[in-house]
Chains A and B, each alone.
Chain A
Amino acid sequence: MRVVTLPLSDDFDAWRDAARGLVTDGVPPDEVVWQVGDVPGDLFAAAGGDASAPRHDPTTPALKVSRAFIDLARSVVLHSDPERFALLYTALYRLRREPKLVEDQADPLVRRLDGLAKHVRRDIHKMRAFLRFREVDDGGTPRFVAWWEPDHHIVRANAAFFVNRFASMRWSILTPEISLFWDGAALSQGPGAARGDAPEGDPIEDVWKTYYASIFNPARVKVGAMLKEMPRKYWKNMPETALVPELLATAQARESGMIEQARTSIGGNAQAAWEALREEAMSCTRCHLYKHATQTVFGEGPVGASMMFVGEQPGDQEDLAGHPFVGPAGQVFNRALAEAGITRAETYVTNAVKHFKFEPRGKRRIHAKPDAGEITACRWWIEQEQMLLRPKVTVALGATAARSLFGKAMTIGRERGRALTLPGEGGGTAWITVHPSYLLRLPDEAAKAAEYAKFVEDLKAAHALVG
């Protein structure tokens, strides 16, 4: 059994020299114990044997290893895992027979070493990211001092980064194992320090915290994403993280406040907003129906209307005219409105689907029912209309309208005849009834008259809800 004692925890060169000697001698990995300083790596290791004076067998050719392995080993050596030197030596030993071992990413040992290297890289990166300097007065000139607790032995390896970046400043990085000092020209090392040796604060931290609080968007809280990249163990050295609990606690209230404020601010420019929306809808291509229809038939009526009627889709005549409810069903609708005591000009009338869907049959275009996808695609417009108008009562004429307003299939027979609450931001009360074209299709005159009367009753009841 050979015991190799390396002088420093992060000493790649010492490991390489020792390992080179051992592998040249053909010493198998299980006969070597690696340790750092005078810390025993293996309590049961038999003393004796000296790796610093390897018995070279002159007939063994020198082992050549790839650049990839050297890079991997340089990283792995910095890990805090006491097994790292032994694992690296095992890999090196295997490289004699398997020169391309490092390329075989599916090999368990390579995976393990890769994992260690990954931890080290992350630790190096997080030190660069989350270390915070505090300015102190050091005999008339400023010095920037930081306290850092790494997980691995990365501090010396990371020094070049800080020198490159902050060469014109004088700075110190204090860590439990080692301290680094830069005087503007040269880097020096000192023994480990304690947290108390680092300065307590810096007036600029207050300004930085102001920035941190202001750049946070309370409408998009994603705590998991923050914690994944900035786990709590780093927080104690980062002044801004003290604000996190309060920012989270008030985020919901701030977002609701913004929405509430927006809701009340709708006023003078609602008409302009509606006109702009209508114009945008004219070039809508959200589903394929625009390809065959003549034009988008948008809703019509005053933006201050307290009642909104939603039909299914424009028909043949509406498609040509560009206005909703002007065909045969529109005439039934107008008559029923009048009988219910409602002035159409005071209401807003629109459709769940804004383009005419049809099947050509000879010269005629036969109405085709829009499918769920088309209704969903067009829902965007209904939602915009709802949010602009905020009608007190929305009347769904038929199943398509009800589906669009509620976002799911609704059974007219079951939901008809009572006030319902609309989902979503638009809110308000809804009333579901049949589509006027249903009345046109009934073959039996008596049934037609009865249904028509029921329809007028529905309109009256809905109108009564406006108050």
Chain B
Amino acid sequence: MAQLDVKQKLAILADAAKYDASCASSGTSKRDSRDGKGLGSTEGMGICHAYAPDGRCISLLKILLTNSCIFDCHYCINRKSSNVQRARFTAAEVVNLTLSFYRRNYIEGLFLSSGIISSPDYTMEQIVEVARSLREDHHFRGYIHLKTIPDADPELVHQAGLYADRVSINVELPTSSGLKRLAPEKDEARIEGAMRGVTASIADLSDAKAKYKSAPRFAPAGQSTQMIVGADAATDGDIVGKASQLYDRFNLRRVYYSAFSPIPDASAVLPLQRPPLMREHRLYQSDWLMRFYEFKPHEVVAATDAATGMLPLDIDPKLAWALKFREHFPVDVNRAPRETLLRVPGLGVKAVKNILASRRWRRLRLDDVARLTVSIAKIRPFIVTDDWRPVSLTDRAELKPLVAPKKQQLELFAA
């Protein structure tokens, strides 16, 4: 086989990495390179340097070190039995690519993952070496996200955390029976064991940091994970339950969902039909409800259809919850506490904050609320203001058509 140049390798190894949903570069410690020695900075808030036509943000150089793999996970384009072309970067090639992209302001940093070659330990060593070289040889101060391998030596995973801003281990599938079917070599207990190890390291070193300023930082942007939606039999209710469990047990920053999408040279075990992309979107919205809107997991589950366990696709989960639990509405915007205002469909976290601030200085009328929000028409049936009371609206059985988004014409090629 002819030698591949860096550009050809990049085409293969970026293509192989695109099924990882995360591209976040936020939430890490603040750094800069004013000392003139290194390169890069982090601001806390990540930056999306471009958007691909799939609507996803490009913040990091997201690549695999190699797409060769000794595992045979059916959903994965890089599995052993797949016929894709294989390639492998050297550590130096990844370092150079990262630095030359970073200097041109294309990226915030690197998200490095890898297929498993020879052994989990060997692969993890290679990943750690890239991060070490960036940090120590080149004083790179940008963002680094490393995907760690559950079966690797915990000491190697620990080193990864010392160089990286974020580490992640994918739980892959929401149900253990799904994992068994689609990723026969992976094991739920080992994956969760590794996640627990990372959680413990983060906690230990942030304790140490509180006492000793010189203590090293361990993954200051925390730990995240990803699961594939639509490849196993899990319902939205199952997924929301699993995600909230993961947040609680491992203190995760984020759980990413990746709607299973067709891959070249797919295995027959995989469903051919992709789930609607809207399903992934609704799951992210429910994730938001739990993280920012003080919804409990069981309340999100209550918004799912009782028989099928699925969230509605035509309306968002917050509206679905409100339509189902009509007795909580209308809410008086001049008196209701924050957690009650957050339940009103169409009122975001910021709008609620603004309502709370302004009502200390005035009684709110419908016009005032309109100025603080995007669409008053959607909110009106759920609130009471000094000059507005939706007496007939909240009780109307046909409320949904009034507040649900208008049906769009179907895409010609929609899934």
- Kindly list chain B residues whose C-beta atoms are within 8 Å of the C-beta of A185: 36
Q: A376-418 interface mask toward B, CB cutoff 8 Å, 1 = contact, 0 = none? A: 1100110110011000000000000000000000000000000
Q: Known contacts being A144-B103, A214-B11, A265-B265, is A168 close to B33, with CB within 8 Å?
A: yes
- Cα distance A128–B106 in the bound complex, in angstroms: 10
Q: Does B48 contact A (CB under 8 A)?
A: yes
- Cα distance A461–B354 in the bound complex, in angstroms: 69
Q: A167-B36, A216-B52, A280-B232 are in contact. List 7 more A-B contacts (CB 8 A).
A: A132-B104, A167-B34, A207-B10, A214-B15, A222-B53, A273-B267, A376-B307
Q: Does A125 contact B (CB under 8 A)?
A: yes
Q: Is the CB of B104 within 8 A of A216?
A: no
Q: Is the CB of B272 within 8 A of A103?
A: no
- Cα distance A207–B101 in the bound complex, in angstroms: 9
Q: What count of chain A residues pass the 8 Å CB interface test?
A: 101
Of the stretches B161-169, B193-201, B356-364, the one at the interface is B356-364
- Kindly list chain A residues whose C-beta atoms are within 8 Å of the C-beta of B305: 373
Q: Known contacts being A259-B262, A276-B269, A287-B308, is A226 close to B32, with CB within 8 Å?
A: no
- Cα distance A214–B265 in the bound complex, in angstroms: 17
Report B1-49 residues with CB < 8 Å from chain A CB.
Answer: 6-7, 10-12, 14-15, 17-19, 32-41, 43, 47-49
- In angstroms, how far is the closest chain A Cβ from the Cβ of B241? 11
- Kindly list chain A residues whose C-beta atoms are within 8 Å of the C-beta of B52: 212, 215-217, 226, 247
Can you show 26 pairs from A to B with CB atoms below 8 A apart? A105-B354, A106-B358, A128-B47, A129-B50, A133-B105, A164-B41, A168-B33, A169-B39, A185-B36, A207-B7, A211-B101, A212-B50, A215-B18, A219-B261, A220-B277, A222-B55, A230-B51, A241-B50, A265-B266, A269-B269, A276-B269, A282-B177, A373-B305, A374-B307, A384-B271, A424-B273
- Kindly list chain A residues whose C-beta atoms are within 8 Å of the C-beta of B413: 252
Report A162-213 residues with CB < 8 Å from chain B CB.
Answer: 163-169, 184-185, 202, 204-208, 210-213
Q: A356-377 interface mask toward B, CB cutoff 8 Å, 1 = contact, 0 = none? A: 0000000000000001111011
Q: Does B120 contact A (CB under 8 A)?
A: no
- In angstroms, how far is the closest chain B Cβ from the Cβ of A31? 27
Q: A118-143 interface mask toward B, CB cutoff 8 Å, 1 = contact, 0 = none? A: 00000001001111111100000000
**Which 9 pairs show the lowest CB-CB distances between chains A and B?**
A373-B307, A225-B55, A222-B55, A105-B354, A164-B32, A106-B368, A214-B14, A262-B266, A273-B269
Q: Does A8 contact B (CB under 8 A)?
A: no
- Cα distance A279–B179 in the bound complex, in angstroms: 12
- Cα distance A144–B99 in the bound complex, in angstroms: 13
Q: Is the CB of A267 within 8 A of B103?
A: no
Q: Does A223 contact B (CB under 8 A)?
A: yes
Q: Is the CB of A223 within 8 A of B55?
A: yes
Q: Does A248 contact B (CB under 8 A)?
A: yes
Q: Is the CB of A270 within 8 A of B268?
A: yes
Q: Known contacts being A225-B55, A266-B268, A377-B235, is A207 close to B97, with CB within 8 Å?
A: yes
Q: Known contacts being A210-B10, A280-B233, is A251 close to B53, with CB within 8 Å?
A: yes
Q: Known contacts being A165-B32, A229-B51, is A383 close to B357, with CB within 8 Å?
A: no
Q: Is the CB of B307 within 8 A of A287?
A: yes
- Minimal Cβ-Cβ distance residue in A for B360: A103
- Cα distance A12–B20 in the bound complex, in angstroms: 44
Residue from A204, A219, A252 within 8 A of B104 (CB atoms): A204
Q: Does A100 contact B (CB under 8 A)?
A: yes
Q: Does A48 contact B (CB under 8 A)?
A: no
Q: Does B238 contact A (CB under 8 A)?
A: yes
Q: Does A11 contact B (CB under 8 A)?
A: no
Q: Does A83 contact B (CB under 8 A)?
A: no
- Minimal Cβ-Cβ distance residue in B for A163: B34
- Cα distance A276–B267 in the bound complex, in angstroms: 13
- Cα distance A383–B273 in the bound complex, in angstroms: 9
Q: Does B100 contact A (CB under 8 A)?
A: yes
Q: Is the CB of A267 within 8 A of B308?
A: no
Residue from B17, B178, B268 within 8 A of A265 (CB atoms): B268
Report B118-167 residues with CB < 8 Å from chain A CB.
Answer: none
- Cα distance A247–B56 in the bound complex, in angstroms: 14
Residue from A215, A230, A280 within 8 A of B17 (CB atoms): A215
- In angstroms, how far is the closest chain B Cβ from the Cβ of A180? 14
Report A225-248 residues with CB < 8 Å from chain B CB.
Answer: 225-226, 229-230, 238, 240-241, 244, 247-248
Q: Is the CB of B364 within 8 A of A373?
A: no
- Minimal Cβ-Cβ distance residue in A for B61: A211
- Minimal Cβ-Cβ distance residue in A for B141: A165
- Kindly list chain B residues whose C-beta atoms are within 8 Å of the C-beta of A132: 104-106
Q: Is the CB of B362 within 8 A of A106?
A: yes
Q: Is the CB of B54 within 8 A of A220?
A: yes
B interface residue numbers (CB < 8 A to A)? 6-7, 10-12, 14-15, 17-19, 32-41, 43, 47-58, 61-62, 97, 100-101, 103-106, 175, 177-178, 180-182, 232-233, 235, 238, 259, 261-274, 277, 305-309, 354-355, 357-358, 360-362, 364, 368-369, 371-372, 413
Q: Does A339 contact B (CB under 8 A)?
A: no
Q: Is the CB of A215 within 8 A of B103?
A: no
- In angstroms, how far is the closest chain B Cβ from the Cβ of A131? 6
- In angstroms, how far is the closest chain B Cβ from the Cβ of A238? 7
Q: Does A284 contact B (CB under 8 A)?
A: yes
- Kindly list chain A residues whose C-beta atoms are within 8 Å of the C-beta of B355: 105-106
- Kindly list chain A residues whose C-beta atoms are within 8 Å of the C-beta of B362: 104, 106
- Cα distance A220–B274 in the bound complex, in angstroms: 10
Which has the most chain B C-beta neighbours within 10 Å: A166, A280, A287?
A280
Q: Does A281 contact B (CB under 8 A)?
A: yes
A interface residue numbers (CB < 8 A to B)? 100, 103-108, 111, 125, 128-135, 144, 146, 161, 163-169, 184-185, 202, 204-208, 210-226, 229-230, 238, 240-241, 244, 247-248, 251-252, 255, 257-259, 261-263, 265-267, 269-270, 272-273, 276-277, 279-287, 371-374, 376-377, 380-381, 383-384, 387-388, 424-425
Residue from B35, B62, B177, B358 within 8 A of A283 (CB atoms): B177
Which has the most chain B C-beta neighbours within 10 Å: A103, A134, A211, A226?
A211
Residue from B18, B233, B265, B369 within 8 A of A216 (CB atoms): B18
- Cα distance A232–B358 in the bound complex, in angstroms: 37
- Kindly list chain B residues whose C-beta atoms are within 8 Å of the C-beta of A212: 50, 52, 58
- Kindly list chain B residues whose C-beta atoms are within 8 Å of the C-beta of A371: 307
- Cα distance A376–B47 in the bound complex, in angstroms: 42
Q: Known contacts being A168-B36, A280-B180, A387-B272, is A208 close to B233, with CB within 8 Å?
A: no
Q: Is the CB of A280 within 8 A of B181?
A: yes
Q: Is the CB of B36 within 8 A of A184?
A: yes
Q: Is the CB of A215 within 8 A of B58?
A: yes
- Kindly list chain A residues whose C-beta atoms are within 8 Å of the C-beta of B265: 261-262, 265
- Kindly list chain A residues whose C-beta atoms are within 8 Å of the C-beta of B357: 103-105
- Kindly list chain B residues whose C-beta atoms are within 8 Å of the C-beta of A106: 354-355, 358, 362, 364, 368-369, 371-372
Q: Known contacts being A146-B105, A222-B54, is A377 close to B34, with CB within 8 Å?
A: no
- Kindly list chain A residues whose C-beta atoms are within 8 Å of the C-beta of B364: 106
- Kindly list chain A residues whose C-beta atoms are within 8 Å of the C-beta of B182: 276
- Kindly list chain A residues whose C-beta atoms are within 8 Å of the C-beta of B372: 105-106, 111
- Kindly list chain A residues whose C-beta atoms are within 8 Å of the C-beta of B261: 217, 219-220
- In angstroms, how far is the closest chain B Cβ from the Cβ of A388? 7
- Kindly list chain A residues whose C-beta atoms are within 8 Å of the C-beta of B369: 106
Q: Is the CB of A387 within 8 A of B273?
A: yes
- Kindly list chain B residues whose C-beta atoms are within 8 Å of the C-beta of A146: 105
- Minimal Cβ-Cβ distance residue in B for A267: B268
- Cα distance A132–B49 in the bound complex, in angstroms: 9
- Kindly list chain B residues whose C-beta atoms are within 8 Å of the C-beta of A244: 53
Q: Is the CB of A207 within 8 A of B178?
A: no
Q: Is the CB of B263 within 8 A of A258?
A: yes
- In angstroms, how far is the closest chain B Cβ from the Cβ of A190? 20
- Minimal Cβ-Cβ distance residue in B for A207: B7
- Kindly list chain A residues whose C-beta atoms are within 8 Å of the C-beta of B368: 106
- Cα distance A241–B101 in the bound complex, in angstroms: 16
Q: Is the CB of B264 within 8 A of A258?
A: yes
